[in-house]
Amino acid sequence: MAVGAGVAAPTQEAQAAEADAAYVMGYFKESISGAGNVNALHLAVSDDGRKWEPLNDNNAVLTPTAGTKGIRDPFLYRLRDGRWALLATDIPAGGSFTKPNQYIHVWTSPDLVTWSPDRLLKVNGTNTSSYSWAPALHWDAARQAYGITFSTVPPGFSHSVIAVSYTTDFVSATNPAIFHDTGSGIIDSHVVTGGDGANYLYYKDHASGRLAGARSASVQPGSFAKYTDGVAENPCTEAPTLVKSLTSSTWMLWGDTYCPNAKFDLWQGDLLSGQWNKVSRQAYTAPLNAKHNTVHPITAADRDRLVARYGTTSWSLLKSYNHPGHYVRHANLEGRIGELPFDPYQDAQWRLRTGLAGVGTVSFESVNYPGHYLRHQGFVVGLARNDGTSGFAADASFQRVAGLADASWSSFRPVQYPTRYLRHSSFSLRIDEVTTATDRADATFDVVQ
């Protein structure tokens, strides 16, 4: 396709950023054992870009029907006419990552809930020997076209680069050009345009194992120069996702990891200088089992429409305050906190019921063992089947109060022992008297998702 040849350029600007009041995240899902792998689009919403509510009970909202009928690496982008585009890699669950594929998936939507049929777009037209991974979108004003960056190994190369193809209609695209090449393998691009007169490209650099940043006065292929070594939690960190704060000049930088799988790290900092600071896990919670996220600001109306259409979750996770990567779970009927990701991940999912002991209390019913609740016996907390007795109801009921270590979190006081609290000790759950700062931290949890 010749860009601009017979295709009308966008004429209406998207809604102004000032109207945005929340965020949407897109992702696919994987779990440690593979039992939770779902290569389809999932969505979550957040008001602050840190704590996320999965939609549709964390089930897929779009299932691919074209190509391999599987997707990875979704990327959401608000187009200049206010519509939305969703791009994704064409790989099914269990499929080969390196199998040659010239195509990516494309959907478009006017409102994030009404979607076009799935279709394939050829972005790697001159390359029949490599993959087309992790497509991402940016606007190229000089070309009056959208640039689609993706990872591939060009013909004659032995390492991966970031390539680019251009489209105005998401039906056809130009043959690819090399957008950025460091001379060694790089993957997973995100381009941000127009930041203080400059444009920014973040990518995974295999040579350094980091999410590196490059900068250019234009978005021309080959024009970007590295300006920061960026960040990394470990050599498995990949999939950089840049997110502008809605309330300040700062940016967030998300990084996915595959060792362990389905775990995100988050940094906050200054995009212009490339200086980033790690964010504590206390301050953010990604959707359960989410992989390779895409995050975009949305309006309050967008958020409300998404929640009305899909709903949120029917279950919750209980996040530890002083071990914030750890969550309340059951294991062999023992109550514990464990660090996610783990399988079966359902061991950490709870339905917070009106307490078995009555109104004003709460009981924790297991999602994967319905009818089983957290209860205390001899001050030790485990999972047990509700036997219908008043004694069980009392043992399994708690009063939810403001968090002892942080009033914005929660603590849980057993109805029979109002001076004791649900807490973890050596990762096991108990109900104990609370007297020290460590005790208060052990007894504080965040009810998330």
- The pLDDT score that the predictor gives to residue 260 is 85
Dihedrals phi, psi of 307, to nearest 5 degrees: -65, -40
In sequence order, the 6+-apart residues with CB closer than 8 A to the CB of 150 are 104, 123, 124, 132, 133, 134, 135, 136, 162, 163, 164, 165, 176, 189
Give dist(CA 207, CA 104) in Å, integer. 26
Yes or no: say if 50 and 287 are a contact pair by the CB < 8 Å rule. no
Whether residue 8 is contained in a domain is answered as no
Tell me, yes or no, whether 372 and 430 share the same domain.
Answer: yes
Number of domains comprising the chain:
2
Handedness of CA 376, 379, 381, 383 (dihedral sign): negative
Strand partners, 101: none
Indicate the SS3 state at residue 174.
coil
| Low pLDDT (below 50) residues in the chain | 1-18
Tell me, yes or no, whether 142 and 58 share the same domain.
Answer: yes
CA count, 13 A, side-chain hemisphere, 55: 26
Give dist(CA 163, CA 141) in Å, integer. 18
Tell me, yes or no, whether 244 and 323 share the same domain.
Answer: no
Closest CA to 414 of 387, 434, 437: 434
The pTM for the full model equals: 0.94
Tell me, yes or no, whether 224 and 368 share the same domain.
Answer: no
**Residue pLDDT, tens place only, 400-421:** 999 999 999 999 999 999 999 9
Give dist(CA 406, CA 442) in Å, integer. 11
Tokens 């294991």 found at: 331
**Residue pLDDT, tens place only, 37-87:** 999 999 999 999 999 999 999 999 999 999 999 999 999 999 999 999 999
Q: Sheet of 133-140: strands edge to edge?
A: 133-140, 145-152, 161-167, 177-180
Tokens of 438: 């460590």
Whether residue 385 is contained in a domain is answered as yes
Whether residue 13 is contained in a domain is answered as no
Dihedrals phi, psi of 251, to nearest 5 degrees: -125, 155
Indicate the SS3 state at residue 438.
helix
DSSP strands (E only) in 368-409? 372-377, 380-385, 398-402
Indicate the SS3 state at residue 204.
strand
Whether residue 417 is contained in a domain is answered as yes
Tell me, yes or no, whether 272 and 378 share the same domain.
Answer: no
Whether residue 7 is contained in a domain is answered as no
**Residue type, position 166, single letter:** Y
Tell me, yes or no, whether 169 and 210 share the same domain.
Answer: yes
∠ CA 24-29-35, rounded to 5°: 155
Tokens 């050599």 found at: 235
Tell me, yes or no, whether 94 and 183 share the same domain.
Answer: yes
Whether residue 1 is contained in a domain is answered as no
Tell me, yes or no, whether 302 and 355 share the same domain.
Answer: no
**What CATH number is attached to the domain comprising 378?**
2.80.10.50
Closest CA to 276 of 241, 320, 314, 321: 241
Q: Measured between alpha carbons, how far apart are the two ends of the chain, in Å?
A: 44
Handedness of CA 366, 368, 369, 370 (dihedral sign): positive
Tell me, yes or no, whether 427 and 391 share the same domain.
Answer: yes
DSSP H/E element including 305: helix 300-310
Rg over CA atoms, the chain:
24
Tell me, yes or no, whether 83 and 229 share the same domain.
Answer: yes
Tell me, yes or no, whether 227 and 336 share the same domain.
Answer: no
Tell me, yes or no, whether 356 and 261 share the same domain.
Answer: no
Whether residue 262 is contained in a domain is answered as yes
Last residue of a domain, one of 276, 310, 344: 310
- The pLDDT score that the predictor gives to residue 194 is 85
Last residue of a domain, one of 288, 310, 332: 310
Indicate the SS3 state at residue 216.
strand
DSSP conformation letters of 8-52: PPP-SPPPPGGGEEEEEEEEEE--TTSTT-EEEEEEEEESSSSB-
Whether residue 254 is contained in a domain is answered as yes
Handedness of CA 13, 17, 22, 23 (dihedral sign): positive
Give dist(CA 139, CA 164) in Å, integer. 12
The 3 state secondary structure assigned to 248-288 is: CCCEEEEEEEECCEEEEEEEEEECCCCEEEECCHHHCECCC
Indicate the SS3 state at residue 345.
helix
Residue 383 lies in domain: 317-448
**What CATH number is attached to the domain comprising 120?**
2.115.10.20
Last residue of a domain, one of 278, 310, 342: 310
Strand partners, 106: 87, 119
